[in-house]
Amino acid sequence: MDASASGQSITQLLHRWSSGDRSALDQLMPVVYDQLHKLASRSLRAEDRNHSLVATALVNEAYLRLVDANVDWQNRVHFFAVSARVLRRILVDYARASHRQKRGGYAEMVPLEQAIVVGPDSLAGLLELDTALKALAMQDPRKSEIVELLCFGGLTYDETAVALQISPATVHRELKLARAWLHRELSQRAS
């Protein structure tokens, strides 16, 4: 099945699921599972093999949260955009729980690209990034959403543009501004 046919199939299943057809969800999950697993693996790629949070567990938790979500699904891109938010929320919740278990220590500065990888050294960075993204969302929700979709959702510039109904050039331009803002914000918090 080519990408456009797959996208149409996913969209049809999402519409059926939104309309109350629970069997559509059973058909949908095998179709989107691989992509969700890739997103989760990407988020966890630098993890030690002995780490307690694995991609499959992350996908399963996301699945449980998505099943209970009351969303009027629009299309495949919308589904993965919402999935990105769910994955981010799970990672942040995990980081908070792990951070509470640790004693002492100070957060260290973590670059944006590394802050989305969960690990013993980046848990505080993920929490700081989440706080900074929330602050950015208060000032400019679209820039925050662009970072979320690209970094946590694994969407491409084109898919992000479609999800937000803007041009890929606008995605690129606003991402540069968002990164600069986040860098400044995270630098201020670290000092």
In this predicted structure, the answer to whether residue 124 has a pLDDT above a threshold of 70 is no
Quote the pLDDT of residue 33. 87
Q: How do the domains of the chain map onto residue ranges?
A: 3-190
Please give, one letter per residue, the 3-state secondary structure of the chain: CCHHHHHHHHHHHHHHHHCCCHHHHHHHHHHHHHHHHHHHHHHCCCCCCCCCCCHHHHHHHHHHHHHCCCCCCCCHHHHHHHHHHHHHHHHHHHHHHHHHHCCCCCCCCCCHHHHCCCCCCCHHHHHHHHHHHHHHHHHCHHHHHHHHHHHHCCCCHHHHHHHHCCCHHHHHHHHHHHHHHHHHHHHHHHC
Tell me the mean pLDDT in the region 130-142.
Answer: 90
Segment 19-28, tens digit of pLDDT? 888 888 888 8
Q: What's the whole-model pTM score?
A: 0.62
pLDDT at 160 over 80: yes
Residue 45: what pLDDT?
63
pLDDT at 143: 93
pLDDT digit string (tens) for 34-72? Answer: 888 887 777 666 444 545 677 788 888 888 888 877 888
